[in-house]
Amino acid sequence: VEVWLQSLQKSEKAQIIIGARSALFLPFNDLGLIVIDEEHEQTFKQSDPAPRFHARDSAVILAHYHKAKVLLGSATPSIETYFNVQNRKYGIVELTQRFSNVLMPEIELIDLKDKYFRKKMQGHFSDVLINHIAEALALGEQVILFQNRRGYSPVLECITCGNVPECPHCDVSLTYHKHKNQLRCHYCGYSIAKPTHCQVCSSIDLTTKGFGTEQIQQEVQALFPSAKVGRMDQDTTRGKFGFEKIIDSFSNREMDILVGTQMIAKGLDFDNVNLVGIMNADNMLYHPDFRAYERSFQMLMQVAGRAGRSEKRGKVLIQTYNPNHNTIQQVTNNDYLGMYKEQLY
């Protein structure tokens, strides 16, 4: 209420207001500029509880009413925002160098199909990833391991080749439904009985399980018993300041390895991290959503950006069954335009 009144009365104390989505509903008197950072974030859309609205898009309209300016910031703009730039609805300012000229990290792809075939995996860790972690720890550097949230939309995945069945009509992955033992498309309702073998390589090693941060934490702890391993996900950040505590502890170098979900992607700066390992890039690609490739690109670029924020060039290892997938290649080559063009094609 205090800020609400200050805003209404055009108080000196409220010349700049920093807020979440709801800040848009303040009674602005003389609005001149709205800055929206990380504009590509899907969390700007509030769908539950009501009112349902997209804070970024609402801000653009609000600014229009007030004849104010809007500044959208992102290293990986949403497709609709870049589309508006292409159509000259929005202007664009590009930063072509990272802060204080830090180099973009070097990205290396690890082919999981090949690694499993040649028995170079220990749990979910390839030999290359294990070696790089060992090297980083020996240098006293910290490591971030990224694993997407699981159990959200279970899909059927072939352990041998990585294939995930898709809807023949909608170009999205089919979701596994346990009670009926079938695969279903969440867009059009198409369904099939759960296959017994992979339609690509005929393997019968199929899984619907996926794996989460907890399993990765246990595996990496077993591989590096003397390392201090922390975890950042929905379970460990519950409670007041849960998120901040983990961030502080990692910044203060009380942990050697941090295993986390998308939470670790959000613009955090750790100056002692030069290695980021992405455990499995594919589960994002197979998320049953028509934006899955755009989101995967944004997420992978953001996570990769955590590596090497200081003098030393960072290294990002991406484990994937699909090293030749267009989206994975676009991430590797830092090719936003390629991603944009392909997704709008």
Q: How far is the CB of 165 from Zn ion (least distance, A)?
A: 10
The verdict on 163 binding Zn ion (CB under 5 A) reads yes
Stretch that binds Zn ion, among 137-145, 170-178, 262-270, 328-336 (CB under 5 A): 170-178
Among 116, 187, 211, 336, binds Zn ion (CB under 5 A): 187
Stretch that binds Zn ion, among 58-66, 70-78, 186-194, 335-343 (CB under 5 A): 186-194
The verdict on 198 binding Zn ion (CB under 5 A) reads yes
Evaluate the CA torsion angle 279, 191, 194, 160 in order and state its sign: negative
Q: How far is the CB of 138 from Zn ion (least distance, A)?
A: 37
Is the Cβ of residue 186 or residue 228 nearer to Zn ion in the bound state? 186
Q: How far is the CB of 175 from Zn ion (least distance, A)?
A: 5
HSE (CB half, 13 Å, CA atoms) of 236? 21
Is the Cβ of residue 198 or residue 275 nearer to Zn ion in the bound state? 198
Beginning with the edge strand found earlier in the chain, give each strand of the sheet holding 273-278 in spatial order: 106-111, 315-320, 273-278, 142-146, 257-260, 229-232
Stretch that binds Zn ion, among 75-83, 120-128, 168-176, 273-281 (CB under 5 A): 168-176
User: Identity (one letter) of the amino acid at 17?
Assistant: I
Q: How far is the CB of 181 from Zn ion (least distance, A)?
A: 13
The verdict on 213 binding Zn ion (CB under 5 A) reads no
Q: How far is the CB of 278 from Zn ion (least distance, A)?
A: 21
Is the Cβ of residue 20 or residue 200 nearer to Zn ion in the bound state? 200
Non-local CB neighbours of 35 within 8 Å, separated by 6+ positions: 70, 71, 73
The verdict on 200 binding Zn ion (CB under 5 A) reads yes
Among 63, 112, 158, 318, binds Zn ion (CB under 5 A): 158
∠ CA 312-313-317, rounded to 5°: 130
Q: How far is the CB of 288 from Zn ion (least distance, A)?
A: 9
The verdict on 206 binding Zn ion (CB under 5 A) reads no
The verdict on 211 binding Zn ion (CB under 5 A) reads no
Q: Say how many residues touch Zn ion, by CB under 5 A.
A: 15
Q: How far is the CB of 174 from Zn ion (least distance, A)?
A: 8
Among 72, 143, 183, 185, binds Zn ion (CB under 5 A): 185
Is the Cβ of residue 20 or residue 188 nearer to Zn ion in the bound state? 188
Nearest to 277 by CA among 296, 295, 258: 258
Q: How far is the CB of 159 from Zn ion (least distance, A)?
A: 8
- Residues making contact with Zn ion (CB under 5 A): 158, 160-161, 163, 167, 169-170, 185, 187-188, 190, 198, 200-201, 203
